[in-house]
Structure 1
């Protein structure tokens, strides 16, 4: 949840008053700070927050080690912040990234706070292969006792972490193990030579599929021979595909899931669709389903299935959609949270299985699969995935392979600038599902929907998209960096500006939903921020300011 400015100020005051330094790290970083060093701190703070039972750790720029606020210009640009989050995401081996980057003015100086999510239960966080921790003011390797403490968190509740005393390497499929090695090498190319020297037992121990010399249920699920299913009895290790419609067929897929997940997806008929963009005479061809999304869906079923419920994973292919059904309630937060944001879950039902699948490059981004599936459907102009949680004992994911409302698909073709929140709301409109009142007001003001509740519909006047884009820009707030660049550009051209001049530049561009007073406050705060950063100075008086570039 995003914090308000008052909440951030209160939070920073508490940190300065004396939070434990294992969950908060202060850095002066007057102008910049190493991205790689930031990644090491993210690993350390994430692990320490987990061990202390906290939701987050914090890396704070603009504050000295003696807790004196000194201010910083680090990460002042929105693009810099997004680049940093992406770099964290790519280089942290478990796919975790910074949850949020906050800015707050404290004592007239800018402070940046990076919120680092705690490591999920049972899964320590590493930076480029190294697990980090805090020791006083220093970064140190995560000690073995702390590493084991995090990993043991999953043992008491993780069904897949249980060892099978009667199981041996002979119960595992050699082809599946070879495929696992390939996936590991793809994820860790720097370890390819070292990987070649590991025997199978060493390799599987590295993945924690072998624990204390014994093969786990997770190892059998992913790599077990077809004839090894008795090791999991009476629990089921089976996936079933069913074709429902004018034609009917079915097929069951057993162990090893690592190989048979792809075999099941290959049974889904993935023909080409032709969509006609508005005001064009050439069709756009897309595949009925995005193969990456289909694999993501089946891998999620495997990773998060409640195997103790003794049920199979079911995939139903219908004429216009595919449904993926697995047992067990949605484990952490709601699907909508992951659709909008790239969140990392706070915990998993099957941590050992999830960690192994991540290491094998099956689950590319922990917790980000849903967000990516949504974006894939947006890029293909098709309805967004649906999650049905009406049965508390199961999760049903539906991936659509056909247009529901032509106006929706045409709108996505024309308006590639729409934020994901708007597309989610428009998707609910085309599916005749209710949306919140503020979303209705926003979409109506942007001229994206028509009609009255409950009979809302997506606007059909696609030909007027250029005019609607102008309306949308006027109603959608821009970043502070955008407005600041306009002020700097004005001063470069004119030398100086009064407050009335600045108002004349910015006020017409501020969102129409703001009141006149809110717009004046916005301009005042922006000028104060630029002055505190040293970008501009007041060459006039307090009552009659004359702003110039510093």
Structure 2
């Protein structure tokens, strides 16, 4: 007689309680008789216990059995007990490639697909399920490690046939215009092997350019699907940008044609994104949505508050800002200087608007995810699908002229005064963050599949904020964003990779200085140190350099040159560090023993490491 699901589940729960045991879903499944499993029709008890039915999986066992490797972009491996993750102990590159990472790279380069473990491929369908124990109980760790190695978000799914486990890796396609690589080489499949892609294949991929989705006709979209309020806002912005109020009286259809949102009585996706009603967006582009989640702490999983916005871009921006700009979640920060108190919002309106418009305007629309804004008391993270546009990286984002991913949308936003420089606007965000004394916009979490921008609220240096405010106040030719970046690097003690043009200008105006023309270690101008009430130099040493060296000796009594280099990472060249340490020896601040790579440095014998080392350095120098 067939067992009912709830009877089996309750029976196993009672069995567990009686023995005070915690069994995994796989172990429980093994305890069920073959007859019971057949009676369940293949339903996994593990999934039932988790409140999830088997048919909620992206694939079913029966579907897996009937897939063909070539037609369905799938790679079958038995992998009964183990399978190499990253090449193992093999030395031959051809053998090293036959691993999880190698197949993920190859399948992604072919446009995405599935890697399936626990299945024996057969020319005659269906394939045989043999089961696998690979990475059992460690699926989350496996996904994390793949992402860490390749920057690819692979979803891994477990399926079961009786007690036989099948592992399915769902691999996304590579980004347009770029290849994925394993150990430095792009791979593709050929038969049972993985081969290096030819130069011609790589060149073809690198030459790809994604079509402008926003210029594509949205079949079925009509004028009645557009929001009249959004059209009015667009016309108002157009008139203001062109400095011609008469534009507001131009018929709607003429404006839509002028902005290339309609052609031959058909409307494109740009018209839908910019002007579409909520009903039209839900019907034709349901992922055109912005979700804001507020949490009090980074460790919180449930959100404190959440709001979903799904309406035209022209009407939604004010509502998004109003939600972010609530007094409790966007408080004023106060900076006092002499008799003046400056009020600075935690999150600047222009920065947030630019960031959100960029996220919507540059996102990949074939990805079904929404734009997500995660707000915390001290930061905001804005996430959109699709990595940077082709040619853009974290390092060149301020200098490269990229092709917008949704060019038609960004052109309209530019013509109506919503964004700058064809929609990039990153320089504006950098400029404002620098002027407010805040950290730079942080794109470090961005990968090939999504852009994540972090904006921090904290003012990291109040004196620098006042310094910039005072030097910019009376200037007709304001310092540009590259000048401000140079000043910020000098503030941090960085004296390498500085822009020569900015250095010359800032030195000429006494906004930065150095000990001599030959000395390439800079400090900010005198005004900054008047505000901080600290000296720039102690004798011939930058105060910051002495602070870093003293900090090294506060952590350890003996320091190697490598440890000094690490402490000054990205601030000074190796030669500058060697010269600094050598000079400190001459001035009896530190001593050394050994030679070559075995040289060890320690503070002068008259310095008590239990007391403030920086103060003792200062006292010795002032007595010279």
- What TM-score does the superposition give when structure 2 sets the normalisation length? 0.42
- What TM-score does the superposition give when structure 1 sets the normalisation length? 0.47
Bigger Rg, structure 1 or 2:
2
